[in-house]
Amino acid sequence: MSEQTATITFKDRVKDIAQDFGLPRLIITGFLVLLLVVSPFVGADLPTQISNIINRFSWNGILVLAMVPMVHSGCGLNFGLPLGIISGLLGATLSIELGFTGTMSFFMAALLATPFALVFGSVYGWLLNKIKGGEMMIATYVGFSSVSLMCMMWLLLPYHSPNMVWGMAGKGLRTTISLEGYYTQALAKILQINIGNLSIPTGALLFFALLAFLMWAFLHTKTGTAMTAVGSNPEFARSAGINVNKIRLISVVMSTWLAAIGILVYEQGFGFIQLYMAPFYMALPAVSAILIGGASVNKASIMNVIIGTILFQGIVTMTPTVMNNMIHLDMSEVIRIIVSNGMILYALTRKTEGTK
């Protein structure tokens, strides 16, 4: 199995991508290209649009990347992403509570989030091992339960930093916490390139590239290939002496940790920490992004992540401006809902071999 994976050449992969591209993806790509072509004519500034897309890519890339390990190990799409996001939020709030500021607070947040992600991820992975075959639905509800549990916790936990708690009551965290003075743009401003209206958050892109490369490298290690084997044929993997449960557990922990880091990167770009219900809104966009990129329920590559995030974020950022300028009718929300959920539906209904 391992040799087989290793011998897939670049050419094969290109062919694979072309084959996997599929009609819906083609439509979405065409739509985005159309938006880009039309935008200068309706008075939208193209460089601003492009830097918007690049920025949004840098915010969301890692959250989408977090899907990869679980898809590889056959656990399906990680609808339980909010769990990882909560680990990240715990790290972020703790880092501020402990008095770290500036870029330092970002790395402390990442460091503090890690143990939470490991613990939550392990429990979550253990649970998913108990219920093989029903992962996605249960992942969704694990996400919901943890978000609603944390809603109580954000109110009850003894946070004191005046920048985070409600001013009046002096306790309970605010719904949105500004990161001004903490790690807003912490990564983006590293080596940032500004040409006219075009600005590129080099640091954040490099950080994504680093994690993406590490993921790619990991998938080519022994454990990584074992993960792919477990995902594509668990029976075969078991008979080859691979500890299936352990591999799946690793993938879930990785996914959870990446989600934790992903939300921190998102926050440094966005400039705010969003608590309470916010993690709810995070899983579906990430899921549909990777699917738009060409992944399926049990197959995903780094390339899928990159293409998918660009396409998804491109549509999300371009439609409102272009539509507003063109027909003074902002239908972007509706288009986003239909496209992203339609994409997930498409992926769920395709016949996939092996596990669900």
Dist. CA 234–CA 244, nearest whole Å: 7
Contacts of other proteins in 149-168 (CB under 8 A): 149, 151-152, 155-156
Of positions 34, 46, 131, 191, contacts other proteins by CB under 8 A: 131
221 binds other proteins (CB under 8 A): no
191 binds other proteins (CB under 8 A): no
Based on CB atoms, which residue is closest to other proteins, 37 or 338? 338
- Which positions from 257 to 296 touch other proteins by CB under 8 A, shown as an x/- string? -------------------xx--xx--x------------
Neighbours of 326 (CB within 10 A): 14
Helix (H, G, I), strand (E, B) or coil at 299: strand
Min CB(329)–other proteins separation in Å: 7
Min CB(175)–other proteins separation in Å: 11
Min CB(71)–other proteins separation in Å: 14
- Terminal CA-CA length for the chain: 20
Tell me the site size for other proteins, rule CB under 8 A.
Answer: 43
CB 144 within 8 A of CB 110: no
Based on CB atoms, which residue is closest to other proteins, 217 or 338? 338
Dist. CA 24–CA 260, nearest whole Å: 30
* Strand partners of residue 177: 273
- Which positions from 26 to 65 touch other proteins by CB under 8 A, shown as an x/- string? ----------------------------------------
Min CB(227)–other proteins separation in Å: 21
Chain centre to alpha carbon of residue 228: 20
Q: How far is the CA of 71 from the CAs of 26, 74, 136, 334, in angstroms? A: 22, 5, 11, 28
Structure letter (DSSP) for residue 173: B
341 binds other proteins (CB under 8 A): yes
Neighbours of 353 (CB within 10 A): 8
Structure letter (DSSP) for residue 205: H
123 binds other proteins (CB under 8 A): no
Neighbours of 193 (CB within 10 A): 10
Residues of the shown chain interacting with other proteins in the complex, contacts defined by CB under 8 A? 79, 127, 130-134, 136-138, 140-142, 144-145, 147-149, 151-152, 155-156, 172, 276-277, 280-281, 284, 329, 331, 333-334, 337-338, 341-342, 344-345, 348-351, 356
